[in-house]
Amino acid sequence: MSLDTTDSYVTEDGRTIGGVVMEMKNITLRFGGVVAIKDISFDIREGEIRAIIGPNGAGKSSMLNVISGFYHPQEGEVWFHGRKRPSMKPYQVAAQGIARTFQNIALFDGMSVLDNIMTGRLTMMKSNMLQQAIWFGRAEREENQHREQVEKVIDFLEIQAIRKTPVGRLPYGLKKRVELARALAAEPKLLLLDEPMAGMNVEEKEDMSRFILDVNDEFGTTIALIEHDMGVVMDLSDRVVVMDYGKKIGDGTPDEVRNNQDVIDAYLGVAHD
């Protein structure tokens, strides 16, 4: 498989990977004097699982924040569906079909799992505050529709038993799953996962891996994820971007990346001169 073709192809396990949906062109992001991302370019294809890996502080989460519109790079362009994306607010990006989860869980602790997941559909709600307050006509119809979609996600992620439980009472692994559920409720075309498996035990990791694969398979969702567990990354992803000190040091299939000398150096810790 070569990286510069624009045609779609079929993977070994029978999934179709389409053309490029998102392209990062020469992105540079600075915070004052600190350069978090330095001239990085890569693309994400439709239907693929794209991993971003690298040692701590490599700039992975910053990269994800650029994609989600939370950070605005000083240099470079973000192309989405063949068009250059203007500078956008995160909610505008979300409306384009990009949803994400966070490295540190960002849920509403006091609200139930169901309500938390419902917030994932907020961008799609059309009824105004007055209609919602008096619960009439459009508001009621809308909520029923959204609830139906949310229930499908609950079923998909097998969290029926905690539907009414306040999120604050859940263990860590389940909170991560609820966060994924909220992202899925938005029916995203591109799903960004920031360390979906951090702090999980082996069994929870296996569950989460299965859910990620199933999401990709069932809904055809394109997924970009950051992950530290190399075993997971190599098993899950179709292509991997490797970052170190804000620079891209590798890009390719898991096998290609695994044999890349720069990547091996970065992970084994060769002295920087």
Partner 1 sequence: MVQDQTAAGAFDSIPALLARNVKLHGTRPAYREKEFGIWQSWTWAETSEEITHLALGLLALGIERGDTVAVIGRNRPAHYWAIVAAQMCGAIPVPLYQDSVTEEMAFVLDHCGARFVICGDQEQVDKVIDAQETIKHIEHVIYYDKRGMRKYDHAHLNWYHDIQEEGRVAHQRLEPELNARIAELNYDTTCVMLYTSGTTGKPKGVILSNRNIIESAKNSSEFDNLSAGEDVLAYLPMAWVGDFIFSIGQAYWTGFCVNCPESADTMMTDLREIGPTYFFAPPRVFEGQLTNVMIRMEDAGRVKKRMFDYFMEHARKVGPAILDGKPVSGWDRLKYRLGDLLVYGPLKNTLGFSRVRVGYTAGEAIGPEIFEFYRSLGINLKQLYGQTEATVFITQQPDGEVRADTVGVPSPGVEIRIDDKGEVFYRSPGVFVEYFKNPESTASTKDAEGWVATGDAGFIEPETGHLRIIDRAKDVSKMADGSMFAPKFVENKLKFYPNILEAVVLGAGRDKCTAMINIDLSAVGNWAERNNISYASYQELAGHPKVLDMVQAHVEEANRSIAEDTMLSRCQVHRFLILHKELDADDGEMTRTRKVRRNIVEQKFADLIDALYSDKSEQYTETEVTYEDGRKGKIKATLQIRDAAVVDTASAKGMAAQ
Nearer to partner 1, 109 or 206 (CB): 206
If one asks whether residue 235 binds partner 1 (CB under 8 A), the answer comes out as no
Nearer to partner 1, 8 or 160 (CB): 160
Concatenated DSSP letters of 92-125: HHHHTTEEEE-SS----TTSBHHHHHHHTTGGG-
Task: State the DSSP code for 179.
Answer: H
CA–CA distance, 259 with 254 (Å, rounded to integer): 9
Q: Report which residue type is found at 130.
A: L
| Other CB atoms within 10 Å distance of the CB of residue 149 | 18
If one asks whether residue 214 binds partner 1 (CB under 8 A), the answer comes out as yes
CA–CA distance, 37 with 182 (Å, rounded to integer): 28
Minimum gap (Å) between residue 51 Cβ and partner 1: 21
Q: Report which residue type is found at 129.
A: M
Q: Quick one: which H or E segment has residue 139?
A: helix 138-156
Minimum gap (Å) between residue 256 Cβ and partner 1: 24
If one asks whether residue 163 binds partner 1 (CB under 8 A), the answer comes out as yes
- Letters for 165-204 (x = contact with partner 1 by CB under 8 A, - = none) are --------------------------------------x-
Nearer to partner 1, 191 or 226 (CB): 191
If one asks whether residue 160 binds partner 1 (CB under 8 A), the answer comes out as yes
Site residues, partner 1 (CB under 8 A):
13-15, 147-148, 151-152, 154-156, 158, 160-161, 163, 203, 206, 210, 214, 217-218
